[in-house]
Amino acid sequence: MPATEKIDLCKLHKDEYVSPKKPVLVRVKPAQYLSINGEGAPGDERFAACIGALYAVAFTIKMTRKFAGKQDYAVCKLEGQWFFEGDLARIPKDKWRWKLLIRTPDFVSQADRQQAVATLLGKGKTREVEEVKLERIDEGQCVQMLHVGPYDREHETIAQMQTFAEGKGLKLAGPHHDIYLSDPRRVPPQRLKTILREPVSAS
Amino acid sequence: MRPGMKDSTLRFYKERMLRVLVHIQQHLDEPLRLDELATLACLSPHHFHHVFTGMLGESLASHIRRLRLERAACRLKLSRTPVAQIALEAGYETHEAFSRAFRGSFGVSPTQFRRRNGKARQIQVRSGVHYHADARLKGFRAARTGDKKTMTVTIKQLKPMKVAFMRHVGPYNEVGKTWERFMMFLGKEGLLGGDAQFIGICHDDPAVTPPDKIRYDACVTVDDRFQAQGEIGVQVVAGGEYAVMTHFGPYEKLGESYAKLLGQWLPRSGRNLRSTPYFEVYLNSPENTEPADLVTDLYAPLEPARGGHHACDRKD
């Protein structure tokens, strides 16, 4: 196996994955992600199955490539985009629409994804793996800020980000994007760390 | 469980540990084998070290080292035996090594200590256990942590789990390499599905087993269809009741949490350990998690709940 360094995208794109507790402007370069779309309350069965499917595909691609002696890399943390208009809190949770993401190096191809999905289905793993896509997302200019606390308090942080954007003559263009730095199964809600990202456009 | 049962279990555990402590003091000149000490404590060698560390607040190795130094101090004060001879009896091959260790504990060199007729600072230990020439030890203070937050222990009933595993023999801090190879194999086979659990079973104690002899199994849960192949074996992790405690932080500090679970929680729990190995379940991946944010569940196997008495306690 070639002795190459393992690539860590989070460390490579530090400005996108390290954020202070105050709003900052960041230019996010186009990036490739494994993704899966869904609707429903975070934490329900469908949501959990989608996270499982996404990680299963991510690890299967990585390990298959590694076994074949190709460039190794670290599987990144879970991210999510949320699609809504107006106030999310007013929309019933089971109607929430989301796209879960895992950032993936550019050299990972559709063929890698197809092979991984076929392997997983062959072992009878989660049906949802078939829904996992490989796509590029270009968010461009964004406001980012570290949110510490429960997910249902994110709107307070978003309000600060909005004020910041407006001060620069920008408006939040959506979709809202979370980068989950903490494990919600174990970290108490007050200590959860999440990077919030809001794509912005000229107002 | 009837009232007072927990106190009586603590008493049983303390009695067992006292037997061990007396035995250590009476046999300081001997190698003090782990399995012998474990038998005295009615514990399997798997669990003994953590229970000892947790109850005494120091590891078995440092306890023995300290008592040998304290005995050396007694001999320096009360006898005319040459320092070199006393150093040798304390397990030090050179005078320098002995002097360094002695000064580290008592603040003065062995020669100074003798000249001042034993006036020096005392070694402070929470357990209150010190060397006595006649090994007369009546009791000790069992360590207790005030940190409730890190001591949340729940009891879980597990079904037996079939796991694929790869055995690692060597230093504990190198198990990562085995995990890498194992994950690569499982990943390319499509076995890292969403619900797979990642489990580590350590068959030896890193604190007392020579690093090159430590046996550790990297395990991932698999379904019934999985069959052993090549270096990948299959085993079943025993079902039954387990005491479970979550460890937050780097893997290097797992030992401290095991000592709390087995040495502080267990003796006060009214329960006894089964002799099957304990294991750990990794809830996040060191690959994309900072060491401080790692989360690991520790599982200690329990005997079915009954009296605090243990069959082996009745022997004497």
The pLDDT, as a whole number, for residue A73 is: 92
| DSSP string for residues in A126-150 | -GGGGG-EEEEE--EEEEEEEEES-
- Tokens encoding A56: 């299963």
Check if A24 contacts B (Cβ < 8 Å): no
Tokens 């996270």 correspond to A51
- For residue A60, the distance in angstroms to the closest alpha carbon of chain B comes to 5
ipTM of the complex: 0.79
- For residue A38, the distance in angstroms to the closest alpha carbon of chain B comes to 17
The pLDDT, as a whole number, for residue A1 is: 29
The pLDDT, as a whole number, for residue A140 is: 94
Closest chain A CA to residue B192: A56
The pLDDT, as a whole number, for residue B146 is: 58
pLDDT at B7 over 70: no
**Distance from C-alpha of A109 to C-alpha of A32, rounded to nearest angstrom:** 10
Report which of B273, B291, B302, B298 is spatially closest to residue B201, judged by C-alpha positions. Answer: B298
Strand, coil or helix: what is B18?
helix
pLDDT at B274 over 90: no
- For residue B303, the distance in angstroms to the closest alpha carbon of chain A comes to 27
* Residue range B231-243: mean pLDDT, rounded: 94
Strand, coil or helix: what is B301?
strand
What are residue B162's phi and psi, to 5 degrees?
Answer: -85, 130
Which of the 8 DSSP states describes residue A5? P
List, for chain A, all residue ranges whose pLDDT scores fall below the cut of 50.
1-4
* Mutant choice from B189, B246, B247 vs A, greatest count of A C-beta within 10 A: B189
Residue B221 pairs with which residues in a beta bridge? B163
Q: What is the mean pLDDT of chain B?
A: 85
- Tokens encoding B295: 């989360």
* Mutant choice from B225, B287, B298 vs A, greatest count of A C-beta within 10 A: B287
pLDDT at B236 over 90: yes
Facing residue for A56 by CB, picked from B193, B288, B295: B193
Q: Is the Cβ–Cβ distance between B107 and B121 less than 8 Å?
A: yes
Facing residue for A120 by CB, picked from B183, B193, B195: B193
The pLDDT, as a whole number, for residue B167 is: 95
B217 vs B42, higher pLDDT: B217
Q: Is the Cβ–Cβ distance between B126 and B57 less than 8 Å?
A: yes
Q: Is the Cβ–Cβ distance between B168 and B217 less than 8 Å?
A: yes
* Residue range B268-287: mean pLDDT, rounded: 87
Check if A46 contacts B (Cβ < 8 Å): no
Report which of B236, B228, B218 is spatially closest to residue B281, judged by C-alpha positions. Answer: B218
B132 vs B253, higher pLDDT: B253
What are residue B208's phi and psi, to 5 degrees?
Answer: -125, -15
- For residue A112, the distance in angstroms to the closest alpha carbon of chain B comes to 11
The pLDDT, as a whole number, for residue B149 is: 52
* Residue range B260-286: mean pLDDT, rounded: 87
Residue A120 pairs with which residues in a beta bridge? none
The model's pLDDT over B103-162, given as tens digits with 9 standing for 90+, comes to 999 999 999 999 888 777 778 888 888 888 776 777 788 877 655 555 789 999 999 999
- Tokens encoding B26: 């009476």
**Distance from C-alpha of B46 to C-alpha of B63, rounded to nearest angstrom:** 19
Burial B257-279 (b: 16+ CB within 10 A, else e): bbbbbbbbbbbebbbbbbebbbb
Helix (H) or strand (E) holding B201: strand B198-202
Tokens 């209150």 correspond to B128
* Residue range B295-315: mean pLDDT, rounded: 74
